Structure 1
């Protein structure tokens, strides 16, 4: 991902989530050296992922496929790619948070072998409320 991808990334982010990341969050990730990937299909941006690796752990911050391209296996391919890339950067374990209401993402992570290890109370904004986050991990020796 580069700064030139941000308009399309923001378009997908706003279509995919009721409480999307801000452009500033993506800019911060790019500037801070996070691993930022885009998924292109025939030159068209169809998804992206943001993660960082530190002390042997990959923390997946954001992974998204365009709503028009969901349910076609692209999320699984993108997840497999970023997990392999994180191993190349020294990760031995992956960690992520996901909204319980994001049923499709929870199912994707469970199919990939992630296991829930906790709950972060009131982690996500949800309008005037807050939503918990389910915390999942995956030992990367299984990738």
Structure 2
């Protein structure tokens, strides 16, 4: 296992990022202002996480993705824990994350790592995505916001 800074976004990175966020223009926009890290397993990139400063002392995880073949093996949790350590080392006080209201596995993972729900952004995915997103056989409409205070 190796987590390191991404120097240049490759097609592998972008494919992973798009698996978590299908809006490529949003990804391109936040990548310009964010710190990006990759998780390598035997020299293969299998996970990514993108961290964006949003307010003083606040860092937001705007994208986290693990390849479908490597899910449920602790990689997502390792990336989250890495982000929390990075945030502490950089003197951030709060880390935030948002996910779909139908993203049951992600909601479980984030809460397992100590994040607490802070709100719901109603119709977020209807406003920001032109194509309907179906997840767990439900139309994704709302974003659930979570945070952890360090």
TM-score for the superposition, normalised by structure 1 = 0.84
Equivalence map 1:1-143=2 (5 Å): 1-3=6-8, 5-14=9-18, 16-17=19-20, 20-22=22-24, 24-32=25-33, 34-53=34-53, 54-124=55-125, 125=129, 127=132, 131-140=141-150
Q: How many residues matched?
A: 135
Whole-angstrom distance in 2 between the partners of 1:26 and 1:2: 16
Whole-angstrom distance in 1 between the partners of 2:27 and 2:144: 22
**What is the root-mean-square deviation of aligned Cα atoms in Å?**
2.0
- What secondary structure does 1:131 align onto? coil
Whole-angstrom distance in 2 between the partners of 1:41 and 1:8: 14
Gap regions ≥5 residues in structure 1: none
Gap regions ≥5 residues in structure 2: 1-5, 134-138
TM-score for the superposition, normalised by structure 2 = 0.80
Which consecutive segments of 4 or more residues in structure 1 shift more than 3 A?
24-30
- Cα gap change, 1:130/1:108 in structure 2, threshold over 3 Å: closer, same or farther? closer
